Every structure is written in structure tokens, then in C-alpha cells.
Amino acid sequence: MGMKREKEKAHYLAIDIGASSGRCILGWIENGKIRIEELYRFENCLEETDGHLCWNLARLFHEVITGLQRCKQLNRIPLSIGIDTWGVDFVLLDQADKVLGNTIAYRDGRTQGMDAEVYKIIKEEELYQHNGIQKQLFNSIYQLMAVQKQEPDLLNNARSFLMIPEYLNFLLTGEKKNEYTNATTTQLVNAETQDWDDDLIARLGLPREIFGKLHMPKSSVGYLLPEIQKIVGFDAEVLLPATHDTGSAVLAVPANDDHSIYLSSGTWSLMGIERLIPDCTEKSRQHNFTNEGGYHYRYRYLKNIMGLWMMQSIRKEFKHAYSFTELYTLAGIGSYFSSVVDVNDSSFLAPKNMINAVQDYCEKTGQEKPETECELLYCVYNSLAKCYADTVAEIEEVTGKVYPRIHVVGGGCQDSFLNKLTAEYTGKEVYAGPVEATTLGNLVAQMLKNNEFADLVAARETIARSFNVKKVQV
């Protein structure tokens, strides 16, 4: 590696890959503030393969390499690299470290009925006592049950279980390291021990040896393989951020008090609070809260809400390519429309046509069907804001505390119409920003590893100072 670069000149690279796109963003400290620069952006999408919705990991890895090459072209060589992605999806590797089968995505229908199969072995109530994780039919536990039922040879031949960012790290470094925050989205990590749940894994008949030691954010994975160094033109250390993108986004919430609710807003909306002790009670389960792992063994006590996925899908289906400002104006015109949908209904997860799915839901529930673009937009916006308000009320009921503020972070914090509706429905102070929360959380973990900040409190104070956080005016 040669001589260590001086701290003030240290650059860090966050590779943040979401369900629809990925970005390579460089970060550094300058004059006591965090500065960021986007170096490369690429598309990600589901592909239909053998009748299933799959991820093209070869293409994703090619994009990661292209992003690293961009660093060299611009002479912005990072001290370290961190990769985060969505949760729950994984690969199984055989003895020769080759991927077994297709990398089937969480939106695929293969998990239909797999919850019932899991509950034959362990009752739903008891499962929640083990892990405190919100039931979602696409969680890894149900995906693994689908593999066991539909393609048992894959599990029989598996030697390693890696989640998507861990597999990309393996391709870069040759090292396999499982990371704690993402592992909790599998529903196979025990909330008390904060490690793989051996009892649960054994009862489900899964091979225990495929699940590696869990590592915390800030851990080193290793350095780039010689062949990768040759391709990209430099060497750097690969570190683990919170590899689950929500884990990284929550790290970047610009608040250090325990009086704020966070809303990580993007394709998915994650709404919750930070806790130091998990809540695996029956009351918490019935409210469908999750206790996902966070930085330094914090818990992200939150609800997974469908988010802007419905809006993104509807926008693509409109004949006219509206700008976001035009969408907000149209939604405002439709504010007379009163039908409301359950944004978390499974019919909205991966419909062939989102507009039809919304109309069908309204008809099925005996409500007026949205016909115009204005009605469709307001119906979804209104439903989402109502869901946020219901979630705030549930958080306050379960915790017995009142939270006066909501911090909206991530790409969705730019949606001024939704922010305003959220403030109106919840009656809370709503603050929007930073936009690049996931990237910042990824960078902050790397910066904490290099002692750029004394602790997470100092890092969050720096984020609040560095980026425009606006109070939403109602």
C-alpha cells in the first residue's frame, strides 16, 4: 500500500446499490465538513430468467469495477471502499466458490406459501421471540425454505451463504465475511445473542456450516485481489459499512436525541426509532415492528412500508413523462379523491401494471376507483401519508413515548408533496435531509474506522453541519 495518506487528504468510496440504480460516491473531510462527489452512476434492474425475477450479479460486479476504474481516471484513489445494498437476498456458493442456481430476487413469487411451511416447524409467535424481525414473505428464511422445497440440491451442495454486498466483497478481495446488520434481515439471527440462531437453523434443517462468523460495521474485509488491482489500477482496503442500506441510512440521521422518529424514504420507506434493547414481545409482533441490527449493536426498531415504489411504477406507466414537480401539481389537483389503499398489500409488490393494481384494490374494497392521473397520484400519496401517521401512532403506543419530530432522509426526502402531507397527518415537526443518507452512513462507518470522528455522536453532528436539513412548512 505504500505510505499512509495524510488524514485530511483521505478519500473514502461508498458504493450504494439499490433495487433500481447504484452510485459510486467519494467522500472526504474538508474544513470540518463532509464533502461528497458522485463519480459514477449505473442502472440496476430485475431480469426474468427461467420464469423467475433475478439479479444479474455479473453485470452488477462489472459496474462496481467500472466505478473503481473511474476513481483511477480522475486520480481520486480511495483509502477504503464500502458496499451496501438492499437486504434479504443472497447467493449460495459451492465447494469451488461458484454461485449455485440463479440469484432470485425478493420480488419473485417463489416464497408464496413458504411462511406456512416455516410455521409447521416453529410457530410464528415463537419465531418472533427468537429474532424480533417483522414478517415479510420475502425475508431470507422464507426464500431458504423455497430453496429447500423447490431445489434441495442447491442447499445440499452449498458451502457458503453470502448476502449480495458480501458476495461483491468476495469477488473484490477473495474474502468471505458475513455482516451483522444485513444478517438480521434473514430472520435467522437471535435478537438476544446477536449471532446466528443455531437452534432455529437446526430445526429448519439448514446446513449450519454455510453461515459464517458475523462481523460488525467498520470491520476490514481485506485488500483488492492482485487481478482486481491490475484492472482498476490501484489497491485499497475493503471495509464493511452497515451493508444493509437502511442500516447505513439510519447512521446518517442528523439527530442524537431519543425524541425523533426517522423515516428513510426511497423505493421502500423505513420508519422507526433507534433502541439499545430489542422488543420481541407479542404486542410488538402484532404491530409488525422489526428489530433489525444497527451500528454498534443498536437496534433499528422500525416498520418496512412499501414507499415510493408505487409512485415510481405509476410514473413509468403514464403515457407522458412528467417531471416530479408536475407530479406534485397533479397530485394536488386530485386532493378531492378519498379512496385509500393499504400500501403494504402484497398485490403492490410486483404487479404487471401498478395502475390496474390500485384500481382493482379500490374496487375490491368497495371504494371509488381512481380514473384520472390526478386521482391515482393523490390516492397513493394520501395512502402513504396515512400509513406513516398510523405507524407514528403505533410507535408511540408500543413505546409509551411521544416523539415530537420526524427526520426524513434519503432520496424521498426531496418529495415536497409527501413531506407536507406527512407533517399534516402526523402533526409532528418534519425535517427533510440529507438526501444521500445511505451513502453518508456508508462513508461515516469508513471514516469512524480511520478515526476521523471521536464517535457516532460527533459524526452525526458533522452530517447536520454539512448538509442542508430543512424544516417542512405546512
> How buried is 153 (Cβ within 10 angstroms: 0-12 exposed, 13-18 middle, 19+ buried)?
exposed
Sequence-separated (6 or more) residues with CB below 8 Å from residue 21 = 41, 42, 43, 44
**Residue 258 near residue 299 (C-beta atoms within 8 A):** no
Question: How many whole angstroms separate alpha carbon 358 and alpha carbon 361?
Answer: 5
**Residue 51 near residue 64 (C-beta atoms within 8 A):** no
Residue 71 phi/psi, 5-degree rounding, is -55, -45
To 10 degrees, what angle do helices 114-121 and 140-150 make? 90
Residues carrying an active site annotation: 245
Ordered DSSP codes for 208-235: GGGS--EE-TT-EEEEPPHHHHHHHSS-
SS3 117: helix
Distances (CA, A) of 329 to 94, 332, 383, 389, 390: 53, 5, 17, 22, 25
SS3 193: coil
CA angle (71 as vertex; 69, 77 as ends), nearest 5: 120
Start-to-end Cα distance in the chain: 53
SS3 279: coil
